[in-house]
Amino acid sequence: MALQETDLGDLPLFAPTKKVYPQSVSGPYRRAKWLILGLCLGVYYLLPFLRWERGPNLPNQAVLADLANARFYFFFIEIWPQEVYYFTGLLIMAAFVLFLMNAVAGRVWCGYLCPQTVWTDLFLAVERFFEGDRRERIKLDEGPWTVSKAWRKSAKHFVWLMIAWWTGGAWVLYFADAPTLVRDLATFQASTTAYAFIAILTFTTYALAGIMREQVCNYMCPWPRIQAALTDDEALNVTYRYDRGDPRVSVKQAERLRKEGQPAGDCVDCRQCVAVCPTGIDIRDGAQLDCIQCGLCIDACDNVMEKISRPKGLIGYDTDDNVKRRIAGETPVYNPLRLRTMIYAALILVVGGAMVWQLATRRTVELSVLHDRSPLFVRLSDGSIRNAYTIRILNKRPDERPVALTVHGLPGIRIEAVGVAATADLRPVVSVAPDSSREVRVLVTLPPDVHPDKTQTITFTAADLFAGEMVTATDHFIAP
Amino acid sequence: MAQHQDHHEVDAHTGVSTTGHEWDGIRELNTPLPRWWLGIFYATIVWSVGYWVVYPAWPLITGATKGVIGYASRIEIAKDLALLQQHRATQSSGLAEASLEQIKADPSLFRIAMAQGKAAFGDNCAACHGVGGGGSKGYPNLNDDDWLWGGTLAEIHQTLQNGVRVAGNADSRISQMPAFGKDGVLKPAEIRAVANHVRELAGLPTEQGADLVKGRELFATNCAACHGDAGKGNKELGAPNLSDAISLYGMDMASLTETITNSRAGVMPAWGQRLDPTTVKALTIYVHSLGGGQ
C-alpha cells in the first residue's frame, strides 16, 4: 500500500464536529421508517392512558411501575419485588432478539427501532419543516442573522423542547396513575421527583435527538462495537455493490464507454447517497461503524437509477458472501435459516417458554419457612421436643385470605402459631391482608414417645380456605 | 515492536493520516476526537475546582479544609439520628399508653413491640439467656413451658421489672432454698438419698443401693414445704417443678448433690432500674412470644 509522507503539524488531536445536513428522501425504506416511528411513539406516548380493570384495591392502569408499593403491572401480569427475575428474563430475551436481528439483517435495530433514531428522525422532520431541506439549511446556517432566520431557528427549538418535554412527561406517567398525575402536574401539585425526571428527560431528549444526533451512535453507544463482533459474512447489511457501480463515470461517459465495449459502472457519483445519510457517511466506502443501516441511501440511489434508466439496487441489503459470489460470477443467494439464526431463535423460544410456563404456574399464595437457629430445639416439661420456625405467607390477591397451616412428616407432630387461633381440627388459620405478606412464629411439637433421628425433614402446607389453593415448603425438625 | 516515527503518513486506502505509531507493521490511523469531547473534559476540571472550594477537600495537618457550605458527613449523620429518635418516640408513645394485653391484641403495636423487644433482648438479655432465649445451665430457657415465676404477661413483666434476688428491691423475686449440706442440716448420705428420691420423682433411674424410703421421708420433711409432696413446685415461691423433664441446674447425681448441699441463687438485674418502662413492656411482649408464654 502506498504511503505518502505528511507534515507533523497538520494532525489535530481534536476536531470540530462536522455538521450533517441529511436531505429528505422518499422510497419504501423511508416509508417503513415513518410507519415504525409512528407506531413506536404512539405506543410510548399513549400507553400510560390505557386502563385495565383489576379490582377494588389495585390500580387500573394497564402498564404501571408502582415503585411506592413495589409492584409492577403489565396488563394481566402483576410482578412482586421477589419476581424481578421476569425482568432478567426479558433482558435476556431482548439480547437474543437483538442478536437474531443482527444475524438476519444487520443493524436494523439501529436504523429503524432505536429510540435515538426514532426521536432524531422526528426532530429532523421538525427541522425540515421550519428550515427547509438540505441546501436551504446549509444556506441558512452560512447566511447572516435575519428576522426570518431567527424566527425559524427559535420556532424549531421551541417545538423540539415541547416534544422533549412531553417525552419526559410521558415517562413519569408510567410510574403513577396517568390521569391523576397529569392533573397534578398541571396544577403544580405533583412530587418534586416527577418534575425533576421530566426536566432530566426533557434535557436528554433535546440534547440527544436535537443536537448530538449521529454523535450518540458514533461516540456514546456501545452497540456498534458489539455488533461488529456479532455480524458475519451471511448477515444482510446495507451494501454498495461496487462490482456493478465501479468504475464511476458520468452518464454520458458511461454511454460512450459501453458503446466502445469498455467497462463502465452504474454509479454516476451524484453523491445522493451521502446527502441523505443521517450519519453523514459514504456507503461506497464499505461497511463502517457509523452506518446505522437505515436504508435511506438505498431509496436515494434507486430514485437516481430510475431517472437514468439503470436497474435499481446498486445499493441494497446484501451479504458479504453475495458480494464475493457476484465477483466470482455466481448467483447471489440469501439463506435466513442458518445454524446461527436457528440457535438464536431456539434460545428465544426456550427463555420465552420458560417465562410463560413460570407465569402460567404462578401461585397467588406463597410460603417461606425459616428454622430458628437459637435454640435449635426446646424440651418441654412433659418431655416433648419442640422446634420453632418463622413463616412468611404471601397473599398476592386483592382480598384478605385465611390460610390454614398444617405440618406432616413425623408421627403425632403438632403445629401452633403464636398469637393465632386454631380451628377445631387444630390447624392454625392465619389471616393475610390483601396484596401483602404476614410473618408468624410457628411452633412444631413432637410428642415425648416419638424418638426421631437427629434431623428429620418435615413439610409445611399452607391452604387458602377460600380458593383452595395450596403451597408447601419443607424444612428440618431437629431433635437432641 | 512499537516504533515511533517523527514523520506521518497518509494511508492511501482510507485517505486518513496516521499517527506515526507502528506495531509489527500495523499503523494507527489518526482519528481525532470531537472538540466537544475535549470541552467536556475541561468542564470537569473547572467543576472539580469548584468542588474543592465548596466541599471539604484539602487535607491539612490536623484535619481538612471545611468547604464554604460547611458540609460534613458527621452533621448529616447527627440529623439522621435526631430524625430517627423522633420517629422512635412517636412509635413508642403508643406502647407507653397501651396495656400489655392491648399491645398483644393490636397488630401494629405488637409489631413495634416485637421489633423493640428483640433489639433490647439482644442488647441486655442474650448474654445470659442466649440470642434466641434458649438459656443454658443456670439460666432459664425462655422458649419452653416451664416457668419458675410464671409465664403470663403480668408475671413476666414483674420478673423483668424487679429482677431476681436484687438487693434493696422489695418487689424482687426471691426464692430461698437452704444450703442443706453446708448448713449441716443433712449429712452426705442423707443428701444422696434425697437426690435419688428427686430422680425417682422425675421418672429417672436411681442409683443401685439407694435408700429410697429414707429419701422420701427426708424430702417430705425438708423439701415438700416448697416443692410439694410430689415435687410439682410452687411458682409463688419460685420453687421449681422437680417432676418434669426440664431442669435448670441438671438432674444428674452430681448436679443434684451440689444443689442440695450448697443451694443455688441465680440473680437477674431489676431491668426496671436500667431500662425505660416502654422497653420493659416491649421485652415482656417479646419474651412472652418466644413460645413459653401462658
pLDDT of A436: 85
From A219, A441, A448, residue closest to B34, measured CB to CB: A219
Q: Specify the pLDDT at position A1.
A: 38
State the residue for C-alpha cell 437432641: A480
Restricting to A residues 412-441, those with a Cβ less than 8 Å away from any Cβ of B are 418-419, 441
Angle at B71 between CA B67 and CA B75, to 5 degrees: 145
Do A243 and A325 contact (CB within 8 A), yes or no? no
Interval B187-234: pLDDT, tens: 999 999 999 999 999 989 998 888 899 999 999 999 999 999 999 999
Q: Which of residues 99-138 of B touch A (CB under 8 A)?
A: 104, 110, 130-135
Average pLDDT over residues B73-91: 89
Q: What is the pTM of this model?
A: 0.71
Average pLDDT of the residues in B53-62: 89
Radius of gyration of chain B from its Cα atoms, rounded to whole angstroms: 37
Q: What is the pLDDT of residue A137?
A: 92
- Spatial contact of A423 and A429, defined as CB atoms under 8 Å apart: yes
pLDDT tier for residue B279 given thresholds of 50, 70 and 90: very high
How far is the alpha carbon of B28 from chain A, nearest alpha carbon, in Å?
A: 13
**Could you tell me if B33 lies within 8 Å of chain A, comparing CB atoms?**
yes
**From the CA atom positions of chain A, what is the Rg in Å?**
33
Report how far Cα A414 is from the mean position of its chain's Cα atoms.
51
Q: Which helix (H) or strand (E) holds A350?
A: helix A339-360
For A439, nearest residue in chain B (alpha carbons): B111
B14-52 residue pLDDT tens = 777 887 788 888 888 887 788 888 899 999 999 999 999
Residues A281 and A289: their CA atoms lie apart, in Å, by 10
Measured CA distances, A113 to A33, A317, A364 (Å): 8, 17, 36
Give the gap in angstroms from C-alpha B250 to the nearest C-alpha of chain A. 13
Pick from A10, A382, A388: which is nearest to B291 by CB? A388
Cα distance between residue A250 and residue A304, in whole Å: 13
B-chain residues within 8 Å CB-CB of A12? 32
Residues of chain A positioned with their CB less than 8 A from the CB of B134: 374-375, 378
- Within a 10 A sphere around the Cβ of B224, how many other Cβ atoms? 14
- Given CB atoms, is A9 within the 8 Å cutoff of chain B? no
User: Hey, is the C-beta of A187 within 8 angstroms of any chain B C-beta?
Assistant: no
Residue A3's pLDDT is 44
What does the angle CA A465 – CA A466 – CA A467 come to, to the nearest 5 degrees? Answer: 105
Band (pLDDT 50/70/90 cuts) for residue B6 is: low
Does the N-terminal peptide bond of residue A247 adopt cis geometry, omega within 30 degrees of 0?
Answer: yes
Residue of B103, B144, B290 lying closest to A441 (CA atoms): B290
C-alpha cell read off for B181: 449440706
What is the predicted pLDDT for the residue at B36? 84
CB contact residues (below 8 A), chain B span 163-222, against chain A? none
Q: How far apart are CA B226 and CA B149, in angstroms?
A: 13
- ipTM tops the 0.90 cut: no
Which residue, among B118, B150, B148, B114, has the nearest Cα to B133 in the 3D structure? B118
DSSP B139: B
pLDDT per residue of chain A (480 residues) written in tens, 0 to 9: 344 444 445 556 677 778 889 999 999 999 999 999 999 999 999 999 999 888 777 888 999 998 888 889 988 888 888 888 888 999 999 999 999 988 888 888 899 999 999 999 999 999 999 998 999 999 998 989 999 999 999 999 999 999 999 999 999 999 998 999 999 988 988 888 899 999 999 999 999 999 988 888 888 888 888 887 888 888 888 989 888 888 888 878 888 888 887 877 889 888 999 999 999 899 988 888 888 899 999 999 999 999 988 888 899 998 888 888 888 888 888 888 889 899 999 999 999 999 999 888 888 888 999 998 888 999 898 889 999 999 999 888 878 888 999 999 988 899 988 878 777 777 889 989 888 888 888 999 999 887 777 888 999 999 888 878 888 999 999 988
